[in-house]
Amino acid sequence: MNPVAKTLERNVEEPVSRMPSWDLPPANIREERDAYLLELEMPGVSKNGIEVTVENNELTIVGHRGDTEPQGEVIYRESRHGDYRRTFEIDTSIDTAKIVAKMEQGILRLTLPKAESIKPRKIQVAD
Amino acid sequence: MNLIRYQDPELATWSPLNRLASLREEMNRLLDGSLAGFTGNVGLFGGWSPTVDVFQDKDNVYIKAELPGMKKEAIEITFQEGMLTISGERKQESEVREGESFRSERFFGKFHRSVSMPTKVDAEKIKATYKDGILCVELPKAAEAKAKQIEVTVS
């Protein structure tokens, strides 16, 4: 496995004792030729409720749930309250300045472009 | 070869009871923690089962289902004999995928959830909306099911 993906895959887990009522969104990560694609499921979060930050080679995604609660009393509940939060470790081979985020029906899609320096390069043979 | 058995410094004061207690703590943590969220989604037959909440007020029953990443057209809602059923299929995007997958926690495929109504509802007037990956179904209570208010006058 490629080292970039390895670090990206490693989820930065916080000690459970310090963990507040965050909800850990399920994630899919895929590598494409020029970028890594990260998908997170965050139902109830709109475009405005998303915060993506990169700090110290850690990519943190926070999703604030909007007001999706219907009125009235609860008869039965399975859903969780609280914000979504997940942190991934990324390394320098990702061009953090060019990360693109898109939110659609509760799915956040992040495109993490690979830095130019690590992309495969085709070298022309000089005549 | 090292003949002294390695001892974890954290377990220096070894006591079977302590270890048992910490094992229990560990198990509780596993069940209470974030993992419960994932395993809770796994159906008996390997499909997925969306999270559902049921609410009611004076006039309506509300069903809220978390269905992130669906096409509106792929959600089917039926009502029969006091039972509301939400079903459908979530598909992987059809675009050609090159490259490798490193983490795959999301569920795809068919799902099916049924909720029986706590009271009689007016099946003709059921409404549903889908926004931010959440399906909200509003079921107006039938007139005869609404609580009648009886005024008691004190003489």
CA-based nearest residue to B83, from B41, B112, B42: B112
B62 contacts in chain A (CB < 8 Å): 70-72
pTM: 0.72
Report the SS3 class of residue A28.
Answer: strand
Rounded (5°) CA angle A53-B101-A40? 35
Asked if A27 and B105 count as a contact pair (C-beta separation under 8 A), the reply is yes
Residue/partner pairs of A118-124 with CB below 8 Å, 24 or more apart = A118/A4, A118/A93, A119/A34
Name the phi and psi angles at A88, rounded to 5.
-125, 145
Helix extents (H) in B14-60: 16-32, 34-39
A72 contacts in chain B (CB < 8 Å): 55-58, 60, 62
Q: Which of A78, A81, A88, A94 to mutate to test the interface with B (most CBs of B within 10 A)?
A: A78
**Residue B73: partners with Cβ closer than 8 Å, 6 or more residues away:** none
Which residue on chain A is closest to B53 by alpha carbon?
A77
Mean confidence (pLDDT) of chain B: 78
CA-based nearest residue to B61, from B5, B129, B115, B141: B141
Report the SS3 class of residue B103.
Answer: strand
**Confidence band (pLDDT; 50, 70, 90) for B94?**
low
CA-based nearest residue to B85, from B58, B55, B117, B59: B117
Q: What is the DSSP letter of B23?
A: H
Q: Does the pLDDT of residue B10 top 50, yes or no?
A: no
pLDDT tens digits for chain A (127 residues)? 454 555 565 666 655 555 556 788 999 998 888 899 999 999 999 999 999 999 888 899 999 998 877 778 999 999 888 899 999 988 788 898 999 999 999 999 999 998 887 777 788 898 8
- Averaged pLDDT for residues B130-154: 86
- Averaged pLDDT for residues B7-29: 58
Asked if A27 and A101 count as a contact pair (C-beta separation under 8 A), the reply is no
- In angstroms, the CA A65 to CA A50 distance is 9
Give the one of B68, B102, B105 whose C-beta lies nearest to A30's C-beta: B102
A24: contact with B, CB 8 A cutoff? yes
